Every structure is written in structure tokens, then in C-alpha cells.
């Protein structure tokens, strides 16, 4: 402890000296000031790089989907677009990512010779295991979302929120937020949270923004307003 | 360049400014908040398709229709079924918490064999094959020794196939020691036979349509009869401005919410009902056309009343003034649709036969039998029509030996089963029982004088429990063959709990069996078949589901679709034909020789002498604590107020003034002592209890189950002994003498 104290008093002395010399030559003053500015800028720059570049890199980890999936190919084969596999159940609830049972409707036996198909049949179909898909749009459990209200009620298209995934030929890597465990697609790929397309982000503000622009102010059954209870039951 | 302190500081300030201008803090804050919602121990509902399975709750005799909501394979919620004739969408606290029984830690997860001392809780998991083999070997041995009658069973008091399969097994095996747990339904059944000649019947009370309800101690709002139905009836009374009068010594929940609470001395119900009958007849307020057309024995009934139940004498015994009785009699007799209902508390224990008859007689006097808003005698469910058991010589010889409990003998001709007497006999040194099967009953907890019952269990060489849960009785077993819970199995549920029309609900599996358990019916079928011979032949079914399907035959499809079946017409027709056979068609017997003996008999005295035990300890029932074979799950226990249970300490209610005189303060620890046992409790001072009476809830003080239930409070059955009603042979103890001392 005492060492520290001494060291501090040294600093004070040193500052005092510097201050007194500043009175003598203006040269020295401007030199010292520019250093300070330099260090300020250095700190600013480094932290900006850390915040804008390094942090997002560190925040997400890339995960591979258990299988690759060709949406485009499947879309060509089915009759009712997205709803062929992502359908509404009789009670109005949304089935979400298909369970193995649905895949089996067609893939009860191997279709074709692709590597992915072989993997799928051997690892999942034959073993009766569900494919542990990583869902890009998965929301926390505190979020209540009705697909039915948005598709049938508001006539939204799937792509409004999910983008053009239906035409992709392969699944992009799943970037998992190391802290929350959710996909990068929720916050959006822009770390500043800026977006261009409606499907670039899936945060609460995005829901609110859309409700706001569409002039929806009464969508909560409980409160008759458009506040917390709409999504957080 | 020198790296001055200022440079360093400006670097830090620059860094801070840069960080603030980057998304880092804002994004991190957002992420951390989400992270905090996703801690691994935070329960998260499972994902999956939402489905619903409609079933029937079997956690109490109520028979409510329930819908089990599922997400994927997991059951996530139990709701009452809207439109169901019993509960129309309602559900009680216990039913709602049923999932905790399914997924809770008290489950017996595989067949178990005792390894350590009996009751020591040391078990070895065994396979079903071995479990069945062990039971079979033991039972075969007894039959080989020509002692089939040394096997006894204790099962549920039901009319469905489970109860019937146990009885059938006992019969085919060759033992008449087939005990069923007793309840108010037994005393009602005997009363119904004596007054209306209906055998094995049940009393329906049209509570919904009554407008003046006289409840003789019934816990209308605390689990009486079919509990949810009673809640709904109560709401209906409120809407229709009906009057509910609650007659009981303690200011229960029901008393507090009734239009009038009439505190009487404990055990005064029969006196009050008969004194009212006396007044109603004397003042000619009875329904003379009904009585003269339908009732037998009015004159001798009146004579008996005038000799023994004059209002003044009764008033003294009951502890209320004559005028109150007179007023009550007037109001009852002149109400448009009066109804008197009987059975103390939830009705889980039998009532005194005299009291039951007296209360039924009140209904008869006002012409309230078989009418809207009245009581109706319903005949037994008889859809189980299995071929007669063909016994072999061993079984036939065994069945000739009389039952240990004396049910059906001259002393108790109308009793079907008297478990209290069974245990009394064994406790008095009878060693004839060598093996015992226990299913859907927890006698080591729920029968009075638990220490005695446990001693009896200890003396029986071989005990098999079929319990789904590690309850007190399972703890005393040698083998546990765990049954599925009600959410994992099929069962027919013929409801008897006071409904006006018969209804059979279907309990069906909502989820796959969670553990290595087996339906009780299947276990019995397997045991019987592996004993073989005539025993196996009595169980010709492939499995229990087939048995159930065949039994319900034409009704099965409907049951599967609707979830219940109302066999009204056929049963009523049957009832009528039985009445005729008994020569009492449509008649109500107010008095005959048998009834006279019952009315004239002295009440069985309370146990203990009043000098050393100056107080009377009574049990009370509350819907917040389950008290039958199902232990209360954690959700239920959470609702118990801390004047009943605080931490691990149970409370005893005592009159406030009396407690103060005795120097007791609220919450003070005391020792309650009865002739049977003693326990440490805390006092709760109450103004809703007469001096001299102390009360404790039923359902606490478990020693088994799990940490959420075990060790909380005191089991009142530890302090109370059975009191046999001489008329019925049933245990109808209303309490016991007791004393309190500072701990
Ligand atoms: S009242 Fe009885 S049958 Fe009805 S839900 Fe409650 S426990 Fe189940």
C-alpha cells in the first residue's frame, strides 16, 4: 500500500513540474496537449473497432445445421407453397418447423442419392429421431406469437418476416449468440440494429414498428390496447 | 514521448466515448437481459403440437370430466371439461394440480422388493416378470396349504371394474376377506336399504334445485360429495336466493359462507333432526299426502319421537335453545323445496346410521323423496356382467370361512365391508391373515389409530401394494407393483357422489406411462393367470383394456367419443324391479323393527374418560388439503394458510377465550394428548369453536411421499381411535377426548 501512495505522490510532483514548465514555454504546452488528444483518439478508435468489429465477431459462434436443406427444390415439388410443410393445424396453431413425421410423408424411403438425403435417411428416418434443426426465427418463451393472426388476419406473406428463405438452395450457417443462445437473425446482421428489409430483424421494436405503421392499436384481447399484453401473456 | 497520466486518462476517456458510440453496451445489455430469462433452471414449457385428451379425474369420488392439454408428448395443463354433466368446466385445486402427481418425485418408478427392515425404506428394483412371479409363488403356497382365506385385500370403495376385479380375484382365489375402504357412501347405502329397500344403492341429492338447504355438517364448500358440483350448486343458491343453513360445531368455511350457522354440540345431528321431525309432525307441517301414500310406520315413528326426542330434551343435548329448533323446523317444512343433506365434512368417513336415517326421515316428512330438489334412491351400477366365477375345491372351502370383519353376518347384515373391524380383529391377536393386497387405499395413513394399523401391518407376513406413490402403506409392503397414475391409464369411473343420475366417466391415458409401471387391472390379470387353474380361468382377458371394452360392450364407443355415459333409464327400470322384489316398491319406511332398534340405541361413547381428558378433539376437512389415498401435491399445499400449517408445524384450533384462560397465546406450541397418542402442535385461537372443542385438519402429517408433503403437521389419525356404530358396524368416530398442555 505504502508503495502505491509514494508512487501517487511522485505523480503529483511530476504533474506539478509539468504545469510549472508549461508556464515557461508554449512549445511544451501544445506538445503535451496533442499527446492527450492523440491518446483520446487512440482510445476512441480502438474501442470503436472493438465495439463495431471485434465484439460482433466474438458474440456469435457459427453452427452448422444438422442437415443441409434445399428450400427451392422442395418448393418445386409441393403443391401449396410454404404451407405444404409449414402448415396450420386444425385448431389454428402453426406447426412451425416440420417434425420428422411430416418429412416421412414423402421420405418414407430414400429419394435420390445425394449425400444429405443419405445422411437424413440413415441418421434420422431409420432411427426415428427428430432432426434437431436450428431455427433462425426462434423467439424467447416469453413471446407469444400467433402465425394465424398475421397470415390470415393481416394477410402478411411469409417473406415479410422470414425473407426469401423459400428460394434458397442451401441453409446458411446458424450464427448463435453466445450469451442468449438465439440466432443472429433476431437482432439482425447489422450490429447497429439497422435494417433495410422488413425481414432483416425480428426484435420487439420491429413488431411494434409494423403494428404502428399499420395503425393497429387494439390487438390485445385482454387490454384492448396494443401494449405489452399483445405478445407477453 | 512520455506516457503521462493525462495521456492514460484521455485514452480511457476516449475508450469510453468510443464504446458508447459503438453498439457494444446496448447490445450487451439486451443480450444479458435475454440471457437472464434463459437460465437452465427456469422452467420452460415444451414445444410441440398442442393437443387435448378428454378424460375423467379419479383423484376424489367427484368424477369430474377433465381435459388434459398437451404440448408434444408432455401434459401441460388440466382443465375442467365444459359441458360435462358433473362439473361443466369447473375443476378443483387437486384436479388442477394432477400433473404434479404424474411428474412428481413420489412416484414408484418400477416394481420394488423390500430389502431392509419393514418400513425402513430400503428397496431393490425388480422386473415385472420377477414381481409377478414372487406374488404368484407366495399365493400359490397359501392355496397349497389349503389356506386361501388367509389372503386379504383392501381396495377402493368403488363400483367400477377395478374394484370388481379385486373382488373377483379374491373370490376365485378363495377368500372372503375382501375389504373396501369405508365412507359415507356405506352408511347411506345401509340407510337406503332400510328405508327404501334398494340394495347396494346410492343416494342422489338434487342440490341444484333445492331452495332451503339444511346441511348437517357437510363441507359443501370444502370437498363434500362431488366437490366441483357442490361449488356450482352453491353459486346457484346465491343466484336464486336459496338459503343454506350449516349445522356443525365448528365455523368451517361453509359455515362462514352460509346464510346461517348453527353451532351444535358435536354429535348432536340426529337429536336435532329428530327433534325437528317431532315439531313438524306435531304441528302438522308435514306433507300428509306424500306420507300417507308412500311412507310406512308413521305412527310408531311419532311415538318414538314423542318418547325420546322432545325438543326440550334434545335442545339441552344439542346445546341450542328450543326456539331455534322450532323456528328451523318451521322454515324447513314451509320452504318450497327444502332439502336436508348428511355426512360430516367431505363425507370420506361413514356417518352414524341413526343420524343418516334421521336426516333422511326429515326429507321424507316434507315429501322430498324422488322429487325435484329432493333425494332419490338410485340402484347400484350393474353394467359389470362377467360370467360367474367357477371356484375349485380349495377356493370353495376357503369361501366357506367367514369374513374376519363380520360384514353380512347377523350382527351387521347390511354391511358389505367393515375395514375397521377387520383391523380390530387382527390387532386383538387374530393371526389368520398371512398375505394382504392393498390397492388404491392408504390405510396406514387414513384409518384412525395409525400406530395400531401399522402394528397390524407389521404382523402380516406378506404384503403387496399396488400404489403409484410411495405412501405410508406402500412403505409397509414387501413388494410394490406400481399402478399407472390416472393420467396414464384406462378406467371406468361410475360416480356415486350424490349425483341425481348415474353417470360413468371414462378415465383414459393422456400420456405414455412415464415409468416402468403397470395398470392394476393388468397386474391382477397376470397374477391370476400365472396362478392358473380356476383362478386363471376367472380372468380370461388378454389385458385390462380388453376387459374394460368387453365389459362396457355397446357403451364403449360412446364412452370413447363423449367421455361419459349416463345409463339412467336402464338403471331406473332395474331399481324399480328390485324394489318390487323387495316388496317396498316406491315406499319409504319411516319406522319398523330394525329402525326402532337403531333409533332407540344409545350413541357409542367417545373414547377416553372425561375427567382426565376434558376436551373433545374433532377432525375437520378442508379442500386445501387432500385426505384420502392421494397425498396433496405441492400446488395444493401452497394454499394452506399459516394458521393451519406454518413451516413444518401443524395447528390445532381452540376457542379463543378458553385458550386465554388456559394461558395459551396464538402460535404457542402445545402437546395434545388423547387416549390413543400425543403430538406437538401449535394453537390457533379461534372464535368459531365452542369451548371444550379443539379441531385439527385431516390430511397433514404424512410420513411418506416426498419432501413437499412428508413431515408437515400432524396426522390426526394418530390421535383418534375408531368408534364402532353398533347399528352398522362402521367406524363413525366423530372425535376423541383430549387434553392440551404447554409444550
Ligand atoms: S373434484 Fe375430485 S374429481 Fe373433480 S377435479 Fe377435483 S379431485 Fe378431480
The answer to whether B78 touches B577, Cβ cutoff 8 Å, is no
Encode pLDDT of B295-346 as tens digits: 999 999 999 999 999 999 999 999 999 999 999 999 999 999 999 999 999 9
CA B208/CA B193 separation, integer angstroms? 25
* Closest CA of chain B from A191, distance in Å: 7
pLDDT of residue B571: 41
pLDDT of A140 > 50? The answer is: yes
In a shared domain, residues B588 and B659: no
Domain contains B691 = yes
ipTM for this prediction: 0.82
Closest by alpha carbon to A199, among A231, A156, A170? A156
Which residues of chain B are under the pLDDT cut of 70? 1-2, 568-586
- Torsions phi, psi of B689, nearest 5? -150, 135
Question: What Å distances lie between residue B710 and B470, B471, B482, B647, B695, CA to CA?
Answer: 11, 10, 20, 12, 21
B734 in the same domain as B704: yes
Residue pointed to by grid coordinates 316406491 = B586
pTM score, two decimals?
0.84
pLDDT at A14 over 80: no
Q: Are residues B420 and B560 in the same domain?
A: yes
Of B1, B23, B44, Cβ closest to residue A192: B23
Chain A 119-148, residues with CB within 8 Å of chain B CB atoms = 140-142
Task: Give bridge partners of residue B463 from the DSSP assignment.
Answer: B436
> Is residue A8's pLDDT more than 50?
no
Give yes or no for residue A3 having a pLDDT over 60. Answer: no
Burial class (CB in 10 A: 0-12, 13-18, 19+), B440: buried
| Within-domain flag for B391 | yes
What are the residue ranges of helices labelled H in B490-567?
520-531, 533-537, 544-552, 555-562
CATH number, domain with residue B472? 3.40.50.740
In a domain, B52, yes or no: no
Query: For chain A, what is the mean pLDDT?
Result: 84
CATH code for the domain of B630: 2.40.40.20
Establish if B64 belongs to a structural domain: no
CB–CB contact A55 B11 (8 Å): no
User: Do B473 and B544 belong together in one domain?
Assistant: yes
Is B11 in the A-facing interface, judged by CB distances under 8 Å?
A: yes
Domain co-membership, B301 together with B396: no
* Domain housing B234: 207-373+579-599
Residues B421 and B551 both lie in one domain: yes
Q: What is the DSSP letter of B112?
A: E
Same domain, B526 and B632: no
The predicted structure's pLDDT at residue B158: 87
Q: Are residues B529 and B586 in the same domain?
A: no
Q: What residues of B are in contact with residue A93 (Cβ under 8 Å)?
A: 49-50
Per-residue model confidence (pLDDT) at position A109? 86
Which of B329, B338, B245 is closest to B290 using CA atoms?
A: B338
Beta bridge partners of B212: B243, B338
The CATH number linked to B322 is: 3.40.228.10
**CB count in 10 Å sphere of residue B156:** 20
* Structural domain includes residue B227: yes
Q: Pick the closest to residue A142 from A180, A192, A94 (CA basis).
A: A180
Domain C-terminal end among B506, B540, B565: B565
Q: Are residues B344 and B447 in the same domain?
A: no
Q: Which residue has the cell 473497432?
A: A49
Q: Is the pLDDT of residue A13 over 50?
A: no
The H or E element spanning position A71 is helix A71-77
What beta strand segments (E) does B18-73 contain? 50-56, 65-71
Give the domain ranges of chain A: 2-62
Q: For residue B90, give the ligand 1 atom closest to its CA.
A: 5
End-to-end CA distance of chain B, in Å? 83
**What's the number of domains chain B is made of?**
4
* Statement to judge: residues B620 and B561 lie in one domain: no
Gap between the Cα atoms of B65 and B109, Å rounded? 27
User: Relative to the CA of B56, which ligand 1 atom is closest?
Assistant: 3
B545 within 8 A of B187, measured Cβ to Cβ: no
Is the predicted pLDDT of residue A9 greater than 70, yes or no? no
Under DSSP, the state recorded for B369 is B
Beta bridge partners of B155: B180
Residue B392 shares a structural domain with residue B494: yes
Whether residues A47 and B14 touch (CB distance < 8 A) is answered with yes
Task: Give yes or no for residue A67 having a pLDDT over 60.
Answer: yes
User: Looking at the structure, do residues B410 and B497 belong to the same domain, yes or no?
Assistant: yes
* Residue A40 touches partner B, C-beta closer than 8 Å: yes
Does B111 fall in a domain? no
CB atoms near residue B91 (< 10 Å): 22
Query: Over 70: is that where the pLDDT of A10 sits?
Result: no
A71 exposure class (CB count in 10 Å sphere: 0-12, 13-18, 19+): middle
Residue B328, in any domain of the structure? yes
Contact B205, B185 (CB under 8 A): no
pLDDT single digits (tens) B339-387: 999 999 999 999 999 999 999 999 999 998 988 999 999 988 989 999 9
Distance CA B618, CA B686 (A): 14
Question: By the 8 A CB rule, do B311 and B321 touch?
Answer: no
Q: Please give the order of strands across the beta sheet that includes B435-438.
A: B123-125, B112-114, B479-480, B462-465, B435-438, B151-155, B178-180
Amino acid at each position: 500500500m505504502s508503495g502505491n501512495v509514494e508512487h501517487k505522490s511522485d505523480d503529483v510532483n511530476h504533474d506539478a513540474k509539468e504545469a510549472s514548465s508549461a508556464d515557461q514555454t508554449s512549445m511544451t504546452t501544445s506538445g503535451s496537449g496533442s499527446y492527450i488528444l492523440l491518446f483520446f483518439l487512440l482510445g476512441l478508435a480502438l474501442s470503436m473497432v472493438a465495439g463495431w468489429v471485434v465484439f460482433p465477431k466474438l458474440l456469435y459462434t457459427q453452427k452448422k445445421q444438422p442437415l443441409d436443406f434445399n428450400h427451392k427444390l422442395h418448393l418445386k415439388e409441393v403443391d401449396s407453397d410454404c404451407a405444404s410443410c409449414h402448415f396450420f393445424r386444425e385448431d389454428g396453431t402453426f406447426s412451425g418447423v416440420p417434425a420428422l413425421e411430416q418429412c416421412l410423408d414423402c421420405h418414407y424411403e430414400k429419394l435420390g442419392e445425394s449425400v444429405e438425403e443419405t445422411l437424413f435417411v440413415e441418421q434420422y428416418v431409420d432411427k426415428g429421431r427428430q432432426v434437431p434443426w436450428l431455427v433462425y426465427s426462434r423467439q424467447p418463451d416469453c413471446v407469444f406469437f400467433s402465425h394465424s393472426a398475421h397470415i390470415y388476419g393481416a394477410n402478411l406473406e411469409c417473406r415479410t418476416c422470414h425473407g426469401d428463405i423459400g428460394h434458397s438452395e442451401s441453409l446458411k450457417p446458424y450464427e448463435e449468440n453466445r450469451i442468449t443462445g438465439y440466432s443472429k437473425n433476431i437482432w439482425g446482421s447489422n450490429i447497429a440494429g439497422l435494417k433495410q428489409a422488413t425481414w432483416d430483424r425480428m426484435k420487439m421494436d420491429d413488431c411494434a414498428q409494423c403494428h404502428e405503421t399499420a395503425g393497429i392499436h387494439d390487438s390485445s384481447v385482454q387490454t384492448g390496447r396494443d401494449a405489452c399484453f399483445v405478445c407477453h401473456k | 514521448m512520455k506516457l503521462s497520466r493525462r495521456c492514460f486518462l484521455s485514452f480511457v476517456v476516449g475508450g469510453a466515448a468510443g464504446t458508447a458510440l459503438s453498439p457494444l453496451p446496448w447490445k450487451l445489455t439486451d443480450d444479458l437481459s435475454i440471457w437472464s430469462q434463459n437460465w437452465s433452471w427456469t422452467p420452460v414449457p415444451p414445444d410441440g403440437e398442442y393437443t387435448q385428451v378428454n378424460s375423467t379425474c379419479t383423484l376424489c369420488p367427484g368424477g369430474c370430466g377433465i381435459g388434459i392439454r398437451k404440448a408434444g408428448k408432455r401434459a401441460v395443463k388440466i382443465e375442467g371439461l365444459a359441458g360435462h354433466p358433473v362439473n361443466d368446466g369447473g375443476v378443483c385445486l387437486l384436479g388442477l394440480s394432477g400433473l404434479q402427481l404424474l411428474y412428481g418425485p413420489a412416484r414408484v418408478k418400477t416394481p420394488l422388493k423390500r430389502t431392509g427392515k419393514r418400513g425402513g425404506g430400503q428397496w431393490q428394483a425388480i422386473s415385472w416378470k420377477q414381481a409377478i412371479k414372487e406374488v404368484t409363488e407366495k399365493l400359490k403356497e397359501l392355496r397349497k396349504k389349503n389356506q386361501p382365506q388367509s389372503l386379504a385385500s383392501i381396495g377402493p370403495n368403488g363400483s367400477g371394474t377395478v374394484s370388481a376385479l379385486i373382488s373377483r380375484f379374491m373370490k376365485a382365489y378363495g377368500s372372503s376377506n375382501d375389504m373396501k375402504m369405508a365412507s359415507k357412501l356405506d352408511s347411506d347405502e345401509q340407510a337406503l336399504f332400510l328405508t327404501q329397500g334398494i340394495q347396494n344403492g346410492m343416494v342422489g341429492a338434487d342440490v341444484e334445485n333445492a331452495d332451503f338447504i339444511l346441511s348437517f355438517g357437510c363441507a359443501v364448500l370444502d370437498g363434500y360429495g362431488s366437490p366441483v358440483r357442490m361449488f356450482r350448486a352453491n353459486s346457484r343458491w346465491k343466484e336464486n336466493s336459496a338459503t343454506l343453513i350449516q349445522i356443525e360445531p365448528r365455523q368451517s368455511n361453509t359455515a362462514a359462507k352460509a346464510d346461517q350457522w348453527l353451532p351444535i354440540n358435536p354429535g348432536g345431528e340426529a337429536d336435532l333432526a329428530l327433534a325437528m321431525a317431532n315439531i313438524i309432525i306435531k304441528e302438522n307441517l308435514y306433507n300428509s299426502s306424500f306420507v300417507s301414500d308412500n311412507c310406512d310406520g308413521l305412527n310408531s315413528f311419532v311415538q318414538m319421537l314423542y318418547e325420546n326426542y322432545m325438543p326440550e330434551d334434545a335442545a339441552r343435548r344439542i346445546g341450542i335453545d328450543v326456539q331455534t329448533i322450532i323456528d328451523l323446523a318451521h322454515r324447513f317444512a314451509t320452504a318450497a323445496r327444502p332439502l336436508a343433506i348428511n355426512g360430516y365434512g367431505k363425507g370420506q368417513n361413514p356417518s352414524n346410521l341413526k343420524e343418516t336415517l334421521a336426516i333422511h326421515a326429515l326429507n321424507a316428512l316434507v315429501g322430498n323423496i324422488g322429487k325435484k330438489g329432493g333425494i332419490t334412491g338410485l340402484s347400484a351400477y350393474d353394467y359389470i356382467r362377467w360370467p360367474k366365477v367357477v371356484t375349485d375345491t380349495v377356493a370353495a372351502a376357503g369361501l366357506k370361512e367367514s369374513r374376519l370383519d363380520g360384514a353380512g353376518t347377523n350382527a351387521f347384515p347390511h354391511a358389505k365391508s367393515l375395514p375397521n373391524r377387520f383391523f380390530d380383529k387382527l390387532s386383538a391377536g387374530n393371526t389368520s391373515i398371512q398375505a394382504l393386497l392393498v390397492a388404491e387405499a392408504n390405510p396406514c395413513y387414513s384409518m384412525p389409530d395409525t400406530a395400531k394399523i401399522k402394528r397390524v401391518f407389521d404382523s402380516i407376513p406378506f404384503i403387496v401394494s399396488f400404489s403409484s406413490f410411495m405412501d405410508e402403506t406402500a412403505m409397509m409392503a414387501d413388494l410394490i407393483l406400481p399402478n399407472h397414475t390416472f393420467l396414464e391409464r384406462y378406467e371406468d369411473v361410475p360416480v356415486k357422489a350424490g349425483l341425481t343420475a348415474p353417470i360413468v366417466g371414462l378415465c383414459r391415458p393422456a400420456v405414455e406411462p412415464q415409468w416402468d409401471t403397470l395398470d392394476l387391472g393388468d397386474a391382477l390379470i397376470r397374477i391370476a393367470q400365472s396362478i392358473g387353474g380356476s383362478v386363471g380361468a376367472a380372468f380370461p382377458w388378454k389385458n385390462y383394456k380388453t376387459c374394460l371394452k368387453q365389459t362396457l360392450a355397446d357403451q364403449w364407443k360412446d364412452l370413447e367419443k363423449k367421455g361419459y355415459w349416463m345409463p339412467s333409464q336402464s338403471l331406473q327400470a332395474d331399481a324399480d324391479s328390485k324394489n318390487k322384489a323387495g316388496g317396498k316398491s316406491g315406499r319409504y319406511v319411516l319406522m319398523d323393527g330394525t329402525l326402532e332398534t337403531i333409533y332407540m340405541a344409545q350413541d357409542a361413547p367417545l373414547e377416553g374418560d372425561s375427567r382426565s381428558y376434558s376436551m373433545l378433539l374433532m377432525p375437520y376437512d378442508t379442500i386445501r388439503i387432500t385426505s384420502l389415498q392421494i397425498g396433496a401435491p405441492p400446488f395444493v399445499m401452497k394454499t394452506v394458510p399459516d394458521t393451519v400449517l406454518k413451516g413444518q408445524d401443524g395447528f390445532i384450533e381452540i376457542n379463543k377465550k378458553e385458550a386465554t384462560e388456559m394461558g395459551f397465546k396464538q402460535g404457542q406450541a402445545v402437546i395434545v394428548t388423547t387416549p390413543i397418542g400425543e403430538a406437538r402442535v401449535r394453537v390457533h385461537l379461534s372464535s368459531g369453536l365452542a369451548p371444550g372443542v379443539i379441531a385439527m385438519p385431516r390430511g397433514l402429517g404424512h410420513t411418506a411421499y416426498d419432501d413437499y408433503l412428508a413431515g408437515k403437521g400432524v396426522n390426526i389419525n394418530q390421535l383418534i381411535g375408531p368408534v364402532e356404530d353398533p347399528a352398522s358396524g362402521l367406524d363413525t368416530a366423530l372425535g376423541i377426548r383430549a387434553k392440551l398442555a404447554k409444550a
